[in-house]
Amino acid sequence: MLAAVLRILERLNLPAPAPKSSTGGARRVIEEFKADPLGCLPASIAARIRGSVPLIYAYQPYSPVGFRFKTQVNENAKYHAFFAELPEADHNEIMGWEGSLAAKYHPVLIRGSEEPSEIAAILDFWKQVFEERGIDSSELRSSGGGRLSELLELLVSVDLASYVLALLLEVDPTPVNTISRLKRTLDERLNIEKRVIAELEL
């Protein structure tokens, strides 16, 4: 994954930071996972998510990480998860924590150094609401080092968390049978492959 990101930067003619400076946080997360697979932060988050439905919150520039976490939990752990972006979620979604189903969810807050004061105030308020209502929450915060470094660190962390969750649930993270079945169904019903070939031949 790290190499792929650096290749994208190269194709966009963007300067790629020195590997040590851009991957230090991600490497640290991996080393901590190797040293203590069940005691590191990603594993802790996975354990706290288990048995509830994770609601993942993030803000720009970390929103792609939040969405990635949702999709990795879906795909690797075969488990429902949902993502919402701040500050938009503050306008409506916060009211859901007053409802009767609130205890069934586990909020995960993804944070980094590029956090506006408004977002910091919102998240502090949300955490206060969670505490008042007895709702367990998790926070994943990057250790800094620049935007690319933070994003890589957070991406590795959420990928590991989704993988550990799959193991805790005794689920094989590799097959995506339902996705494959959907693709076959769409192909059979809509003749997608034939339509694409026909379009290319025009």
SS3 100: coil
* Type of residue found at 197: I
Closest to 159 in 3D by CA, of 21, 46, 22 = 46
Q: Are 57 and 86 in contact (CB under 8 A)?
A: yes
C-beta of residue 165 within 8 angstroms of C-beta of residue 46: yes
| Cα angle value 50/70/121 (rounded, 5°) | 90
Q: Output phi, psi for 57, to 5 deg.
A: -125, 135
Catalytic positions, written as ranges: 75, 91, 183
Return the C-alpha torsion angle 171, 177, 182, 185, nearest 10.
Answer: -150
Please give the single-letter amino acid code of residue 20.
K
Largest CA distance in the chain: 63
DSSP symbols for 7-37: HHHHHTTPPPPPHHHHHHHHHHHHHHHHH-T
